[in-house]
Amino acid sequence: TLNFSAGPGALPAAVLAQVRDAIAALPETGVSVLGMSHRSDWFLAILDEAERHVRHLLGLSDRYAVSFLQGGSSLLFATVPMNYATPAFAAPEYVVSGYWSARASAEAGRVGPHRIAWDGQRAGFRELPVLEQLDVDPRAAYLHYVSNETIEGLQFALPARPASVPLIADMSSDFLSKPIDAWHFGMIYAHAQKNLGAAGVTVAVIDRELLTRIPGGLPHILDFRTQIAHGSNYNTPPVFAIYVLTLITRWLRDDIGGLEQVQRINEGKAARLYAVLDEMSDAVTIHAKRPWRSQMNVAFTFGDARLDRAFLDTAEARGMSGLEGHRSLRGLRASLYNAVTPQAVEILCETLIEFALQRA
Ligand code: PLP
């Protein structure tokens, strides 16, 4: 597949074939996956397997709960402060490093007081701070950041140690794309439609210590303890999205060989594309400054809306899709999630080179 969309993004061909069959009828039950009850033994086993894969891939200890939620990462922008920003702590701190972290920060502001620990907006969201060097109140409820800014194509280096306050990361666009030290985090969340399959489910990994801070009186569905207590089956979960997530994490473990392997592949893809774009630096501008270039989303432009459009047309004629930049930044963007193959990136690179040569 030549799908470079930022989300929902590409799926591995082998998984797609399995999903196609499962929509017709699951081999285990003879019933379409779309008609499977969330109370069935089949689905309980799928939920169990999904959690086991996430735990295995991240090496999670029992200190962490894994939960499958709905409402997307946007609902977490609201529920994170509702659950943790209590009067027992100083206001939570937010890193504003791009479009999505700005959305998270604004949403926290609707819930209660929060503090902006760093703001890159005036500099155009082209660089990132060093998390460990931020001046964060040690009494703050938590520090929130977005590990990979999907729109601007900026990616943080992994924190080298646990922060002085619980670190909460929206990893929607780089979750399970490389190994991480999960124990450096108080909470990690990521929606599925980038590296984990279909839209509809959001994975949350939560240090159980944080659960003890949740105030009473939240609506049950917004209280993080509810889905954990009910094995992510308190109300009807997104059965299909969780099924696809299970297949993808199985594929990551068995076909790819784990997160070190996928990191190696992802680094190779990104290095190849950036090298080609750097070769074309007279004609192309990459949005992110070099040290913060994302391995997942490459935002760039030929500097002229007509040229960007011409490239899109050329790429589309060759079967590529999803290369249009986000409406807030425009330009072009290639997303290189786990399911995008090195071969697909090679075709994109060849097309870029030919396009540039024709115009030189
Ligand atoms: N966070 C990040 C990093 C994103 O890239 C996006 C959307 O692409 C969101 C949050 C919003 O996610 P959702 O549409 O699941 O609410």
Where do the domains of the chain lie? Answer: 13-256, 259-359
pLDDT for 8 equals 94
| Nearest CA owner, ligand 1 atom 15 | 72
For residue 230, give the amino acid letter.
H
| Nearest CA owner, ligand 1 atom 10 | 73
Tell me the CA–centroid distance for residue 123 and ligand 1, in Å: 22
Architecture of domain 13-256: 3-Layer(aba) Sandwich (3.40)
Place of tokens 């086993």: 45
| SS3 assignment, position 86 | coil
Give 285-332 pLDDT, tens digit per residue.
999 999 999 999 999 999 999 999 999 999 999 999 999 999 999 999
pLDDT for 1 equals 75
pLDDT for 161 equals 82
Tell me the CA–centroid distance for residue 172 and ligand 1, in Å: 6
Give 158-184 pLDDT, tens digit per residue.
988 888 899 999 999 999 999 999 999
Mutate to test the pocket of ligand 1, among 69, 70, 74, 94 (most ligand atoms within 8 A of CB): 74
Work out the number of other CB atoms within 10 angstroms of the CB of residue 216: 5
pLDDT of 188 strictly over 80: yes
Higher pLDDT, 123 or 359: 123
Work out the number of other CB atoms within 10 angstroms of the CB of residue 230: 13
User: Any known ligand binding at 170?
Assistant: yes
Residue 150 CA, closest ligand 1 atom number: 5
| SS3 assignment, position 349 | helix
Give 7-33 pLDDT, tens digit per residue.
999 999 999 999 999 999 999 999 999
Tell me the CA–centroid distance for residue 74 and ligand 1, in Å: 6
CB 205 within 8 A of CB 182: yes
Give 198-208 pLDDT, tens digit per residue.
999 999 999 99
Give 50-79 pLDDT, tens digit per residue.
999 999 999 999 999 999 999 999 999 999
User: Any known ligand binding at 183?
Assistant: no
User: Any known ligand binding at 193?
Assistant: yes
pLDDT for 359 equals 86
What kind of fold does domain 259-359 have according to CATH?
Answer: Aspartate Aminotransferase, domain 1 (3.90.1150)
Tell me the CA–centroid distance for residue 170 and ligand 1, in Å: 8
| Complex ipTM over 0.95 | yes
User: Any known ligand binding at 343?
Assistant: no
Give 227-276 pLDDT, tens digit per residue.
999 999 999 999 999 999 999 999 999 999 999 999 999 999 999 999 99
- Segment among 126-135, 154-163, 268-277, 337-346 with least mean pLDDT: 154-163
Residues having CB within 6 Å of any atom of ligand 1:
7, 72-74, 100, 146, 150, 170, 172-173, 191
Residues 210-221: what's their mean pLDDT?
97
Residue 146 CA, closest ligand 1 atom number: 3
pLDDT for 180 equals 97
pLDDT of 360 strictly over 90: no
Q: Annotated catalytic sites, by residue?
A: 100, 170, 194
Measured CA to CA in angstroms, residue 226 lies from 72, 75, 204, 330 at distances of 17, 15, 13, 40
Element spanning 208, H or E = helix 208-211
pLDDT for 75 equals 98
CA angle 169, 174, 177 (to 5 degrees): 125
